[in-house]
Structure 1
Amino acid sequence: MNLTNANSRTTLLEQRTRRALRPPRLSSVWLVLPGVAFLSVAFVLPLIALLSQSFYDDGFTFRYFEQILTTPGYRSVIWTSFKIAFLSTAITIALAYPVSCYLTRVGSLTRSIMMALIVIPFWTNILARCYAWIVILQKGGLINTLLVREMGLINTPIDMLYNLPGVLVGMTHYVLPPAILILYSINHNIDVRLVGAAQSLGASPFRAFRHVYLPLSMPGVRAATLLVMILSLGFFVTPALLGGLSEVTLAMLIDTQFNETVNWNLGAALATLLLLMTLIGIALYYWAVARATQGKMQ
């Protein structure tokens, strides 16, 4: 019986593989042409025209990339962008994962209410969010007022604005809802009976979670991490409003080159570098997914 089921699954897999490798019909190609044409005209061609300016200035040159990589100030901005992206991603995943797990265990009414509370902030304008955090985090804001005047826990207000903590709070608030939704889309399909079976065989709750539930939820963790990392690398509004002069990101520097110094060649080189870092992150993600899939097959 098991051999028959295995042969059936193998045959089904072979049929799906042949179907996937089959060249598309001409009629189906016409369906995607409008979308491809729109993306080419509205996105790809302008992007190529912009990025080409990073290599061309009275002839082909790498001068602007050399300037970026050899100038300590530019290298510091790149490092700051990576630092902020890494910290915001780590904080977001650490907060989103337990929430997504809890959503899979509550009733439908509680889940609906929680989903509404998660999604509604995501629909709020990012400027409104940033100014709301300014009101909350400033020295005379809500948090410092409660800590200093109402509770008397501290004597002087805490500096939580126009620095790294303020940027991380604002960015985490923005990317937390999509991270929760991505993780929940994977976690709610996990059969929790597998965790119960591991516990019935003698595993502690932590060990059952670590060896059973966590590996099954890793596709969602990888997808959410990639999305948050890409969004964090390209953040502009939140660091500009909540960060200080020491927290200048790559996106802020690109805006400065285009709108203030009007150095389009250098701005295009910085944009090319940001795009390259994003593509490298996507490539690493798919490499990790392919490696994990290959390990499961072996």
Structure 2
Amino acid sequence: MSTFDLPGFDLAKFVRETLAEDLGEGLQGGGRDVTSDSVIPAEARFSGVMDSRNAIVVAGLPLAEAFFRALDPDCTIEVLAHDGDRVGAGTDLMRIAGRARALLTAERSALNIVQHLSGIATLTHAYVTAMRGPGGNPACTLLDTRKTIPGLRFLEKYATRMGGAQNHRMGLWDAAMIKDNHVAVAGNVGEAVRRARDAGVAKIICEVDRLDQIEPALAAGAHHLLLDNMEAGTLAEAVALVAGRVPTEASGGVNLDTIAAKAASGVDYISVGRLTQSAPAADIGLDFKPV
């Protein structure tokens, strides 16, 4: 079986709970696949191929394998691609053979996760390509955000890495990110940063949406500036004012048409929420036949 180890993520628990949800375990009449149990003979066996219908960046194949093996430990699986691979339309990703009922019961969960994660990886790759295109900044790094589906953060952030991005904060615990609402309560940018600094926070990211907020944030001890909703020209001014004292990050108003110009401003990072918030699922199919 393929190995899949993400710190903080319990693969066995994820597979178990996802299948339990689909099977309706604990609900009246639940705990079984009514269709497969009634239509497919218990002794029937299937073989099938999972393939991409469009050009994609692959992510999630080890999870799909885990779903199938959870219900048929003796199934035969040949993984034909690897997470992070860029493949063309019609590429075979995985061959599976085993007990038909078990494979059909696991099919939707396996496909859902590969389609979702591959969609994120594919969109991420498109942003990386646009960012580094003509007029872009090859030194600029694409970041994801915390705009993830609850319960799927580790997997979705894994998928952005497969697409060529770097992870931003994993959660609320690993860095302070001071945003406009924090500033509104604290009174001003400098005071908000000072409070985080005095609390001993090791990494302080501060959002600024005006050029006149840069010096107060830096003077108070910010380690990283998030330049929010600035056009490319304003971003270039901000980068010049920061003058390399801390890393700079552009955020807001970023799409495939604007990312190259924002990268060309000289920022170190660009963060994009839609990588995880609204990436379309990849078109991946799985066709079985009796054996």
Q: Taking structure 2 as the reference length, what is the TM-score of the superposition?
A: 0.23
Pick the structure with more strand per residue.
Answer: 2
Higher relative contact order (CA 8 A, sep 6+): 1
Q: Taking structure 1 as the reference length, what is the TM-score of the superposition?
A: 0.22
Pick the structure with more helix per residue.
Answer: 1
